[in-house]
Structure 1
């Protein structure tokens, strides 16, 4: 007889297949329909705020997998803090100025020089806003809730106005100045670059050893030459000095009638490199004693001095440094000490100027070769050599940059350096090495070049009087800020200088009331670095609780935000900084479209769902570089399937359960139900700690084994005999369902930050839910319940159970039994094990999922597996001593008979 209809089998609408690529869009629409984001804010509005300030991604192109990693990590934090009960508004942002947008317009056929600057900037703005709209939808598709209709965008009037206010604060502190200094200059972009806009690539260069003949020298130095080594021959036209170290010893080396001055420690190395088969050291002189000696430039006949500086090393080269203040940071600094000119005979496009003499008009890389030839013709080139080395390149054009002195606007770092370092110490850094990394960057950082020679950006709000004196009074800057707030920064280009200044403005440097405007724009890192102004603008606490970005932002946004925050408000804009690595392919290689190894998050979301991407993020150690591939995503999909199937089984077994009327409190549950609750309580404690410490991979490694091992492989497995077989309102069955309800709801809460779509779907199918969505629930509270004796007894039993499972598996392999219900166990247990079994007060055959168990006490644990003897119940499939005429065992007979 078929008793299937008498069994209480699981029932749920939670499907085995999530179909996330389609269904997630429906869940997100529901979140929008019920205004879920606003509701969670309203729920927690009286609580302590938690502010994650969003580092603005650049508005250009579709989002990539690095974007997805970053935004998902942020959402883990936002959702955790929200469900912890904090007030967590999330204001996404976008960085919208700079060269990539200009380049994108050029590729679209826009000819910059054929339209007005105002019209060109309008096209830039339209393009940027289109990109923002596109990326906005793509970020939201990841399952992220926030102020999507009211983000911050660096091109909006209010943002630019607040940026000028911060600039004004820095001016007021005397931190902004204009100077002629060597900066990273990109001939391909025709603009100065920030350090954060530099990337290093291999480049082939020429290195040369050049002899500069001494002038008016006496004794052993008479007719000697100062030997220098350089990898940038094109800078030799700008040579104005040779630097030596004051405390180094320098040798005068005679080689075939010629004398050269080199560092004493490098003589042997140079003899080998320059093939000096026979040489002798005729004198040794202290570096400081060479100071102010003279030499003659072999190409120009200029007379220049020997100077001393601590920057000189003897690790390579000759120990004498060719010094061109217009082409190097160290050269510039030492040049200031000796009042040398900042001479730079290279123009904006990288061509040599008339000051370079015979090399004028040549591109600097072409001049490089020509200068080497000229040195050889003069007989001063001892050796040339081509070599490949890591060299700075413009991160956008991928072309080499040069160090070049140009008039630029700078923010002084020296005045702030100690304050910056103090603020770094106050912040928390994760990983811990982040503190050292940014401290070293700040310690070694020179003044920040904040000007750029581009069209698309925030203009530097400086006027010049007729005598070229810069005008940037607080009155003027406040006026410009107000104009930008009302009209936007395009007004700078639409109006004449006199119409932009406050009404009636006069200046002693302009007797004719004629003024001109600065044409440079601000570095885009100044744009994004002042984004903390959004906190004040939106009445959010300053500093933010968290900045979370990629590890490249130590020299980028973390750095510029720190400088502007400390300069404007005397305090870092963040309390904690978390950084993550880059995303590589499955073999650890950098992703690129040309290699075909890129994983597109938009494709993954469409095919597998955002929750799969989110689960991937929750499995990686994001503090290092992480990997992703189709194969890895298939593994993640398998992990998700296990989670989903477990949830489905749990929900199915809660069918018909009403926790409002049928719930059995913990104190009245059987021992193993209590064990599972206590195990779940431990899970809650560990998971909440992992979230608190930003250890999201640990959350995954805690929750999934709990679901697959503690639940699926143990609790849910043996309780089938209770849930399916017993009467619907049997007390033990209700105890199991009460335990299941607690754990199901709790696990869904713990998973919500990581799998919000899946958790929301499952929550809505619970037999009772207190809220419209699980995101309106709080995370489980940490329980203080402790039952040490109970857990100790279970530990003893669980160890015994593992051994029984091995024996059952062996018996199956030997064909002694089929399913475990066909088995009888004859067990010899120790007294400790017997006591544990008795203490747990369980039906041991039911928990071990066999039909019969015979127990005896002995000195050591032993198990004999044999086929159970008896008759099989047609309903519960247990083998019992006898069944009734209808094929039922006593238990099933009682259940059926009482229905």
Structure 2
């Protein structure tokens, strides 16, 4: 057999190699056989109980999306699976169960779109029971599809665990909400944040990417209401606005520290920075400097809304125009928001959660925020306030879930400490809060949380939507602020990340074995940053407990240089493709199977035991190289350097063992050695290529009906 390999990006690839018949269809059949076997022997249970009374690695998983499973998510699960298979082969018990983001907002949107008629009453209102039932069924369908994809890649988990959507799951959240509110860790506030109109939820800027939005920016003249009376009646500030729709919500005019002048022109007096280009454009008849103290007394009239806007000074370094005044909209620009806090300005939103302008926008009420730019420009131009305009692309955050543009706006949010936890949705765990109908204050406590919990346990989670508050609360409850006894329920749901963190904290608090357990978290870095701190905080507050020294392995899953075809997203080829590319992955799997098939042919008649003392120098060198390889590869698995492990294994397998196998076929006297080396090498390949390793193992051990290579131990070494 001729082994001729060359390096490409650190990984061996094949020029030519003789092998048994191989095709995509035969590979699929082999994978299906192995998957059936793993299900029959319940491999996940065997790995969880591999070593009686031994240490357990318990994996804690952030909720997995059920829509748009990205290559990053798949690669992260493969990396974790490699690590867990490796750990099981070093003697640890491994326990892993999936967590699903059942309450993905796209489930709600899909059901509302496709099942519109079946989930509504005759009057057009949504039947909550039918709606949530349809969402639940659709979510389970998506979970089945995603589970099948992960199974085809050989990812081991307890896939029979049902997603947590039952009443007990929701009742734990109800109880937690009451207790956290009582202890001062839950509050409802109006905060300005980045908001996705499509998903109806706040967006974390750290997880978002930047996009652009086409907008109209403009210079305009703003008539003065107060200040600078000595210049006469027709006095204007020249101010800049970066976006027309945001200008509609302006509440002040900002100026940087510097020199400002009043310019006497034919149609009035214009005030602007001394470095402004309008100083030359307007050709003033006279110029007089204006002091900052004089400008601080100035207020302007908003030319459309009529709002009185004060002038404030700021040292903001935001990339605006380099000179002059600019209008600020604290409700809709992050930097303006902080300027408003500094100067105690009013923060008023002109857009609702659906992206529509509200009643403060006058005639434009109900219009989409991104559809009114030209209308506002025309209005300013028609009234004579527009000086100049230009079209430009303005940066905007994109929602990490749907990719749509976000807006910055104030929103009434419930917060767990600094984490926003409420959403404007119907599908999800309800926000179990009851309000007083008179003073609109929250009527909430640990006791009320327990009453809601008991009600949900008796009647089911959907009962929250159909029951009146009086049927849930104790009879003697009244508002502690105003003594009112009429109540209404909060609308919306809690964020999935909060719901699952509460449930995980509860499950961890009930764990009995705390001595032989190692908590393990292997997730992408950005997932750990937004999920783990909340889980730890809930453990401490709700259960006076904490995760027991968790091992946290942040991973940065590889991004394939090119898209991976669907036919390669299964089996060992699929696993390798995320690290070295699909064509190289196919070559390695094909050659690996061929090499071990050849070794089986050479060693099938060998009955004698391997005698280490009688090996020749070449064989001894091979065994030493295998020992070194085992140490290096296990170190790479431990630190999740998967690509490096593939490179080292490929180098030894095809550059060292391949030529030795070819010589052995000619001489016919190395069968026992080849058998021993192949078994150890197969174990080293097993975590990354489990299908091939399992099939070859079963051919070596056909009598082991309940066995698996993953019930074996990693090589201990020959030269020790």
2:190 to 169, 175, 180: 180
Question: C-alpha distance in 1, partners of 2:681/2:518?
Answer: 33
2:140 to 101, 122, 129: 129
2:586 to 634, 637, 648: 637
What is the aligned partner in structure 2 of residue 718 from structure 1?
Answer: 663
Please report how far the alpha carbon of residue 297 of structure 1 lies from its aligned counterpart in structure 2 after TM superposition: 2.2
SS at match of 1:387: strand
Matches within 5 A, 1:651-800: 651-658=600-607, 662-664=609-611, 666-713=612-659, 715-723=660-668, 733=669, 736-766=670-700, 772-781=707-716, 785=720
Q: 1:232 to 1:409 in 2, by over 3 A?
A: farther
User: Residues 520-541 of structure 1, C-alpha deviation per residue, up to 9 Å, x if partnerless?
Assistant: 2123343355564375167387
- Asked whether the 8 Å contact 2:237–2:325 carries over to 1, the reply is yes
Please report how far the alpha carbon of residue 751 of structure 1 lies from its aligned counterpart in structure 2 after TM superposition: 0.9
- Asked whether the 8 Å contact 1:192–1:453 carries over to 2, the reply is no
Please report how far the alpha carbon of residue 331 of structure 1 lies from its aligned counterpart in structure 2 after TM superposition: 3.4
C-alpha RMSD of matched pairs (Å): 3.5
Matches within 5 A, 1:516-535: 516-528=488-500, 530=502, 532-533=504-505
Structure 1 position 546 matched with structure 2 position 551: no
What is the aligned partner in structure 2 of residue 23 from structure 1?
Answer: 30
1:464 to 405, 413, 435: 435
Bigger Rg, structure 1 or 2: 1
Please report how far the alpha carbon of residue 367 of structure 1 lies from its aligned counterpart in structure 2 after TM superposition: 3.1
User: Residues 436-456 of structure 1, C-alpha deviation per residue, up to 9 Å, x if partnerless?
Assistant: xxxxxxxxxxxx432222111
1:498 to 458, 462, 470: 470
Instruction: Give unmatched runs, 5+ long, in structure 2.
Output: 1-18
Q: 1:721 to 1:583 in 2, by over 3 A?
A: closer
- Asked whether the 8 Å contact 1:181–1:326 carries over to 2, the reply is no
SS at match of 1:638: helix
- Asked whether the 8 Å contact 2:90–2:713 carries over to 1, the reply is yes
Q: 1:220 to 1:237 in 2, by over 3 A?
A: same
SS at match of 2:248: helix
- Asked whether the 8 Å contact 1:297–1:303 carries over to 2, the reply is yes
Please report how far the alpha carbon of residue 386 of structure 1 lies from its aligned counterpart in structure 2 after TM superposition: 1.1
Matches within 5 A, 1:415-434: none
Structure 1 position 599 matched with structure 2 position 560: no
What is the aligned partner in structure 2 of residue 423 from structure 1?
Answer: none
Question: C-alpha distance in 1, partners of 2:371/2:320?
Answer: 29
User: Residues 251-304 of structure 1, C-alpha deviation per residue, up to 9 Å, x if partnerless?
Assistant: 32637566555566xx26x459x9567899743745x77445322223344333
Please report how far the alpha carbon of residue 561 of structure 1 lies from its aligned counterpart in structure 2 after TM superposition: 3.6
Please report how far the alpha carbon of residue 203 of structure 1 lies from its aligned counterpart in structure 2 after TM superposition: 2.4
- Asked whether the 8 Å contact 2:227–2:295 carries over to 1, the reply is no
- Asked whether the 8 Å contact 1:214–1:295 carries over to 2, the reply is yes
Q: 1:509 to 1:76 in 2, by over 3 A?
A: same
Q: Which is further off, 37-46 or 300-309?
A: 300-309
What is the aligned partner in structure 1 of residue 160 from structure 2?
Answer: 149
Matches within 5 A, 1:254-273: 254=263, 256=265, 261-262=271-272, 267=275, 270=277
User: Residues 34-89 of structure 1, C-alpha deviation per residue, up to 9 Å, x if partnerless?
Assistant: 2222122212353333233223222347x564543232222111111211222210
Please report how far the alpha carbon of residue 314 of structure 1 lies from its aligned counterpart in structure 2 after TM superposition: 6.2
Q: 1:219 to 1:515 in 2, by over 3 A?
A: closer
SS at match of 1:461: coil
User: Residues 796-821 of structure 1, C-alpha deviation per residue, up to 9 Å, x if partnerless?
Assistant: xxxxxxxxxxxxxxxxxxxxxxxxxx
Question: C-alpha distance in 2, partners of 1:486/1:133?
Answer: 29
Question: C-alpha distance in 2, partners of 1:328/1:574?
Answer: 40
1:473 to 428, 436, 445: 445
Please report how far the alpha carbon of residue 616 of structure 1 lies from its aligned counterpart in structure 2 after TM superposition: 1.6
- Asked whether the 8 Å contact 2:20–2:597 carries over to 1, the reply is yes
Question: C-alpha distance in 2, partners of 1:314/1:614?
Answer: 45
Q: 1:313 to 1:186 in 2, by over 3 A?
A: closer
Question: C-alpha distance in 1, partners of 2:311/2:575?
Answer: 62
What is the aligned partner in structure 2 of residue 384 from structure 1?
Answer: 389
- Asked whether the 8 Å contact 1:215–1:295 carries over to 2, the reply is yes
Please report how far the alpha carbon of residue 717 of structure 1 lies from its aligned counterpart in structure 2 after TM superposition: 2.7
Q: 1:383 to 1:675 in 2, by over 3 A?
A: same
Question: C-alpha distance in 2, partners of 1:369/1:84?
Answer: 67
Question: C-alpha distance in 1, partners of 2:296/2:357?
Answer: 31
Q: 1:87 to 1:261 in 2, by over 3 A?
A: farther
Please report how far the alpha carbon of residue 675 of structure 1 lies from its aligned counterpart in structure 2 after TM superposition: 1.0
1:32 to 34, 39, 42: 39
What is the aligned partner in structure 1 of residue 55 from structure 2?
Answer: 48
Q: 1:682 to 1:382 in 2, by over 3 A?
A: same
- Asked whether the 8 Å contact 1:184–1:194 carries over to 2, the reply is yes
- Asked whether the 8 Å contact 1:207–1:231 carries over to 2, the reply is yes
- Asked whether the 8 Å contact 1:83–1:777 carries over to 2, the reply is yes
SS at match of 2:94: coil
Q: 1:102 to 1:358 in 2, by over 3 A?
A: closer
User: Residues 401-453 of structure 1, C-alpha deviation per residue, up to 9 Å, x if partnerless?
Assistant: 3333333323342xxxxxxxxxxxxxxxxxxxxxxxxxxxxxxxxxx432222
What is the aligned partner in structure 2 of residue 422 from structure 1?
Answer: none
Question: C-alpha distance in 2, partners of 1:505/1:634?
Answer: 68
Q: 1:278 to 1:778 in 2, by over 3 A?
A: farther
Q: Does 1 or 2 have the higher relative contact order (CA < 8 Å, sep 6+)?
A: 2
Q: 1:314 to 1:340 in 2, by over 3 A?
A: same
| Count of residue correspondences | 683
Matches within 5 A, 1:233-632: 233-245=244-256, 248-252=257-261, 254=263, 256=265, 261-262=271-272, 267=275, 270=277, 282-283=288-289, 285=291, 290-311=295-316, 313=318, 316=321, 318=323, 320-394=325-399, 399-413=404-418, 448-466=419-437, 467-484=439-456, 487-502=459-474, 504-509=476-481, 511=483, 513-528=485-500, 530=502, 532-533=504-505, 536=508, 539=511, 544-549=519-524, 554=526, 558-566=529-537, 568-569=539-540, 575-581=551-557, 583=559, 586=562, 599-600=565-566, 603-604=567-568, 609-617=570-578, 619-620=579-580, 632=581
SS at match of 1:719: helix
What is the aligned partner in structure 1 of residue 129 from structure 2?
Answer: 118
Question: C-alpha distance in 2, partners of 1:296/1:326?
Answer: 18
2:227 to 210, 217, 225: 217
SS at match of 1:578: strand
Question: C-alpha distance in 2, partners of 1:281/1:746?
Answer: 89
Question: C-alpha distance in 2, partners of 1:181/1:385?
Answer: 32
Please report how far the alpha carbon of residue 568 of structure 1 lies from its aligned counterpart in structure 2 after TM superposition: 4.5
- Asked whether the 8 Å contact 2:478–2:485 carries over to 1, the reply is yes
Please report how far the alpha carbon of residue 394 of structure 1 lies from its aligned counterpart in structure 2 after TM superposition: 5.0
Question: C-alpha distance in 1, partners of 2:590/2:642?
Answer: 19
- Asked whether the 8 Å contact 1:616–1:636 carries over to 2, the reply is yes
